Structure 1
Amino acid sequence: MMDVTALGELLIDFVHKGNNEFGSPIMHGNPGGAPCNFLCALASCGEKTAFIGKVGDDAFGHMLKKTLDTHGIDTTGLVIDPSVFTTLAFVTLDETGDRTFSFARKPGADTMLRPDEVRDEQLANTRVFHFGTLSMTNEPARSATKQAVEKARQNGAMITFDPNYRAPLWNSEEEAKEQILWGIRHCDVLKISKEELELVFQQNVEQGAETLLENGVKLAFVTLGKNGVYAKNRQASTTSPAFLELKTVDTTGAGDIFGGSAVYGVLASGKAPETLTEDDLQKICQFANAMAGLSTTRSGGITSVPKKQEAIAYLQQSGLWA
């Protein structure tokens, strides 16, 4: 039995690291993909994790498999397909470490995962099943994702969802909103950004969080960038500030690492997400903010995930935890 299984994209993030002597950009390649960043945070906290997805039978694909293996993430569900190339993302950072994206993905291997390539036994043997919308931009991966979500739910898994909206990958904003709303209505625990919430519901954070609960979400984490996170269930709500004193180098994967760490906090509490108290939510958010914040002090997505003990030590040094 796995603690957490995620389905979605596994790719190479190429990050701009300045220019060479001729003025040409220097790009550093790092393993990435939101679901895998999410899983790495959980694996770092000691959870048993597994990934379902597709890469190409190329140097990048084999490097990515090796990376997941090294981080202790089960790759039984990773399909290596010789007919497509591994997806590549190109990330440009501004002076604050914030990102803009472009993709080599027409098609990319991650979009070509078929429903019949997802193993039923993986969906039947996990406590939590996680997904995002990058696997819902194109067929056949969209059908594979939705079928997997429904099967995992039928088997009693907690469903977690992070839209991870990337405008360049969608045919239209309306299509993206439709698929994000499907995800919201099929999950128990949601991590969503303030901007994504406004995109879907055109509401402020508090109103939007209430609408999320009305749509069936049991626990919502709304990330607020430098303002931290707002968390809400039917029992309580809380806002937890970000750790702005940390020196940001690269924000790639920080939201995913927050999400994985928050789900770890929910699992570690031993409580159903809808029953967590304000104190529970505050502790979970502090831990997830620390994990995400520490990840921004180093480069990459998967490669930037801190150890659980690093976050605990940071919280103790900050005086937030005893």
Structure 2
Amino acid sequence: MPKLIAMGEMLIDFVATERGVTLAEAEHFTKAAGGAPANVAVAAAKLGISSGFLGKVGDDPFGHFLVDTLRNHGVDSSAIRYSQQARTGLAFVSLKADGDRDFVFFRHPSADMRYAPDEIDLDYLASASILHLGSLGLAASPMHEAMHHAIESAQKANVRISYDPNLRLSLWPNEEVARREILSIWPAASIIKISREELTFLSGAAALEASVRTLWHDNLQLMAVTDGPAGCTLFTAQESVSVPGFSVPVADTTGAGDAFAAALLSAMLREEPAWHDLDALAAMGRYANAVGALTTTAHGAIPALPSAALVASFLATARADSERPSDVNVTSRDPRKEVAHEGTPS
């Protein structure tokens, strides 16, 4: 049975082959498997961790292509469901000159949104060590209810919850609803990967420390805050470690955050870190930064995800930006003592 199970959406990404154009201007697109939770499952498998997927696709050529893609990369697909009523979701993506992306989604509704609580294989879920979730499934029923059911079942089985909000405001009615729903499952997560921009959006605080203090909760073991090419900061209940990123030629940033999340989880599943061990936390951050950086050097999400061998080779020779021992910023802190209770999501 898989150690890591990802749950949520699988989509077809149609990525514009021309760079620096809008979707309206793009004339050619390349098809690729996508969807943040699916990216995490594949990335973990490529890093040597057994992974599986919970979700739903259309019983159509795109849906079968997605499931075949997971299988071909070593992801267990035995618990995936097929919909006869809804088609597989599509996302059209254009790449800006800096490698960042614009999205248009076609999910009205797509099969992943039709995944229902009674379709979850609870024995399969209970066999995992970690359940990884995004937030897009919270935007529509019955997937919304399925996610809450999966969380409750995972908690009963002592399966840890990993959460990446993966904010896509265009898929929500408004910012208020997005913020409320994303935070609705926040207290269940013991591992959170989040970008600096998402953290500011959810907390309302611009400063990094203030944002983390606002959103910290007692169940949380690790919050990994990513900041693009600048690297990441890992927060535990007592410590924080800032780890610089790597300079690489960027082709496409799609999937980099998912690869980072998978690398963190893979490192944890290989060897649970001592949360007070600053060197271990810094090494985990460096590893995740490397996996995320390598993913940006090729086009597409799943096609660009690196193998364990490639990551090892890269880390053996690469140096992070300004990487010297004195440049790893480590501070001691205890968010549980710092958080004002009225500011903590309930």
Q: Classify the TM-score, shorter chain.
A: over 0.9
Q: Output the CA distance in 2 between the equivalents of 1:154 and 1:266.
A: 21
Corresponding residue SS for 1:95: coil
Q: Distance in 2 between matches of 1:218 and 1:38?
A: 20
Distance 2:211 2:203 in 1: 6
Of residues 235, 239, 259, the one that matches 2:261 is 259
Q: Using the alignment, how far apart are the partners of 2:49 and 2:216 within structure 1?
A: 27
Give matches, 1:222-241, under 5 Å.
222-241=225-244
Give CA deviations for 1:292-317 in whole Å, capped at 9, x if unaligned. 11111111111111011211211110
DSSP 3-state at the match of 1:18: strand
Please tell me the residue identity of whatever aligns with 1:169.
Answer: L
> Which whole-Å CA distance do the structure 1 matches of 2:218 and 2:179 have between them?
14
Task: Give the Å deviation of 1:100.
Answer: 1.1
Partners of 1:24 and 1:103 in 2: CA distance: 16
Residue type of the alignment partner of 2:91:
A
Query: Greater shift after overlay, 55-64 or 226-235?
Result: 226-235
Distance in structure 2 (CA, Å) of the matches to 1:5 and 1:259: 13
2:343 counterpart residue number? none
1:113–1:141 Cα contact (<8 Å) kept? yes
Structure 2 equivalent of residue 106 of structure 1: 108
User: 8 Å contact 1:213–1:219 — kept in the other structure?
Assistant: no
In structure 2, C-alpha distance between the alignment counterparts of 1:279 and 1:184, rounded to whole Å: 27
Aligned to 1:87: 89
Range moving further from structure 2, 6-15 or 304-313: 304-313
Asked whether the equivalents of residues 184 and 217 of structure 1 are also in contact (C-alpha less than 8 Å), the reply is no
Seen in structure 2, the aligned counterparts of structure 1 residues 24 and 316 have a Cα distance that, compared at 3 Å, is closer
Match for 2:125 among 123, 126, 139? 123
| 3-state SS, counterpart of residue 129 of structure 2 | strand
Q: Is the 8 A contact 2:230 2:244 kept in 1?
A: yes
Partners of 1:276 and 1:188 in 2: CA distance: 16
In 1, the alpha carbon distance for the partners of 2:32 and 2:139 equals: 23
Change beyond 3 A, Cα 1:139–1:187: same
Q: 2:213 aligns with which of 210, 215, 219?
A: 210
Separation in structure 2 between the aligned mates of residue 309 and residue 73 of structure 1, nearest angstrom: 18
Aligned equivalents of 1:8 and 1:71: distance in 2?
18
Q: TM-score, normalised by structure 2?
A: 0.88
Secondary structure of 2:94's match?
A: strand
Partner of 1:173: 175
Could you tell me whether the CA contact under 8 Å between 1:213 and 1:233 is conserved in 2?
A: no
Q: Match of 1:3?
A: 3
CA distance, structure 2, for counterparts of residue 168 and residue 314 of structure 1: 36
Identical-pair percentage: 36
1:304 aligns with 304
User: Where does residue 281 of structure 1 map in the other structure?
Assistant: 281
Contact 2:194–2:223 (CA under 8 A) maintained in structure 1: yes
Change (3 A) 1:319 1:255: closer
Structure 2 counterpart SS, 1:84: coil
Alpha-carbon distance between aligned partners in 1 of 2:92 and 2:276, rounded to the nearest angstrom: 39
Aligned equivalents of 1:149 and 1:205: distance in 2?
A: 28
Q: Does the 8 Å contact 2:165/2:182 carry over to 1?
A: yes
Q: Secondary structure at the match of 2:263?
A: helix
Preserved CA contact (<8 Å) 2:264 2:288: yes
For residues 40 and 235 of structure 1, the distance between their equivalents in structure 2, rounded to whole angstroms, comes to 32
Counterparts of 1:314 and 1:276 in 2: how far apart (Å)?
A: 27
3-state DSSP of counterpart to 1:270: coil
- After superposing the two structures, state which structure 1 stretch, 193-202 or 215-224, moved more: 215-224
Instruction: Please state whether the residue corresponding to 2:234 is helix, strand or coil.
Output: strand
Helix, strand or coil: the match of 2:131?
strand
Deviation at 1:80, TM superposition (A): 1.1
- Residues 109-188 of structure 1 aligned to structure 2 (within 5 Å): 109-188=111-190
CA deviation profile, 1:127-180 (whole Å, cap 9, x unmatched): 111111111110000000110011011101111000001011001111111121
| Cross-structure match for 1:294 | 294
Aligned to 2:197: 195
Secondary structure (helix, strand or coil) at the match of 2:76 reads strand
Shift of 1:24: 5.7
- SS state at 1:226 partner: helix
Q: Considering only aligned residues, what root-mean-square deviation do their CA atoms show, in Å?
A: 1.6
User: Are the structure 2 counterparts of residues 147 and 314 from structure 1 closer, same or farther at C-alpha, using a change threshold of 3 Å?
Assistant: same
What is the one-letter code of the residue matched to 2:271? S
Q: Structure 1: state its 5+ residue gaps.
A: none
The amino acid of 1:9's aligned partner reads E
CA contact (8 A) 1:133 1:165 kept: yes
> What is the deviation of 1:48?
1.0
